[in-house]
Amino acid sequence: MSSQLARVLVTGASGFVGSELVRRLAQDGQRSIRAAIRRRRPAFPHGIEVCHDLDLSAQTDWQYALSGVECVVHAAARVHVMRETAIDAIAEFRKVNVDGTLALARQAAEAGVNRFVFISSIKVNGESSSRGRPYRADDVPAPADAYGISKLEAENALKQICRACDMEYVIIRAPLVYGPGVKGNFRSMMKWLIRGVPLPLGDVDNRRSLVALDTLAGLTIRCMTHPAARNQTFLVADGEDLSTTQLLRRMGVALGKPVRLFHAPVWILKLTGKLVFRKDMIARLCDSLQVDISKTRELLGWFPEVTVDQGLKKTAEDFLRETRN
């Protein structure tokens, strides 16, 4: 870290991103770290102060957790799921991602927190980008689902709070994050490859931006103290965009498994997705979503910490260890 902070609070500290942030902060020498969790307690590094039973809701009292804190890194959220089961999805996302974030930010401002770093999502920008026209940090947002809408509303609420006080904000919008412990569709993809499942994805010529967990954590830590990050929105990615076909083949190399792909027209894949109620999943496999990280590079003097292949190798090694055990 460029400088020591008096105390850092990480929310969602038992989650995929939050737990890595806590580990990296401890590794980088941050002496006073407070980890806010709901229930499950992971194996935090020695010396981490844990605050239990902190739901992200409008009613949560953050007074103790925020005491003496100079910077909040807000990684807790109701995350996007492929098959939403809530009857009123947007209301459920707003309860957590908007109302909960608003309550935390207000209390952080009252507690004298200097900077609030918010881990948001590229879904604020939209679901897909035109080939060769990546999303930029300052584009007009166009979220298309309940999760993306709730993240945009949380961003706007945070900005409004900060404008009325001395607290600074930094917003980081991330695309799909992968790394050791990844779940969801990325983990499913590795299972398909390990089992040698033939996949009709040998002719998908899209471009997708991803971000390794190491790279996201490193940027987040830089944004905690960098003067130029004040009141800015940044996009983050690996810096190399892949087609779905390329990703599968390079993941196969990382796993040490042959990749069995066959060719199928994209229009057939999308039609099949509609028929089996997997339209969104097929869209993510076939559409492009590219991210322009030039602002992040130039303003912060930042660059991705690992290459795509290094990130995939680390992810694969962790997955293989877990499957063996």
As annotated, the active-site residues are: 147
Residue 322: other Cβ atoms inside 10 A: 11
In terms of Cα–Cα distance, which of 116, 254, 110 is closest to 172? 116
Query: What's the maximum distance between 2 C-alpha atoms anywhere in the chain?
Result: 58
* Helix 213-225 × helix 16-27 angle, to 10°: 60
Residue 257's SS3 state is coil
Percent composition of the chain: helix, strand, coil (DSSP 3-state, to 5): 45, 15, 40
User: For residue 258, which of 266, 246, 267, 249 has the smallest C-alpha distance?
Assistant: 249
Of 208, 211, 272, 279, which Cα lies nearest the Cα of 246?
Answer: 208
**Distance (Å, rounded) from C-alpha 197 to C-alpha 172?**
36
Contact call for residues 17 and 236 (beta carbons, < 8 A)? no
Angle (nearest 5°) at CA 35 between 166 and 60: 65
Q: What is the rounded CA–CA span in Å between residue 117 and residue 108?
A: 11
| Gap between the Cα atoms of 244 and 255, Å rounded | 16
Give the relative orientation of helices 213-225 and 308-324 as an angle to the nearest 10 degrees. 120
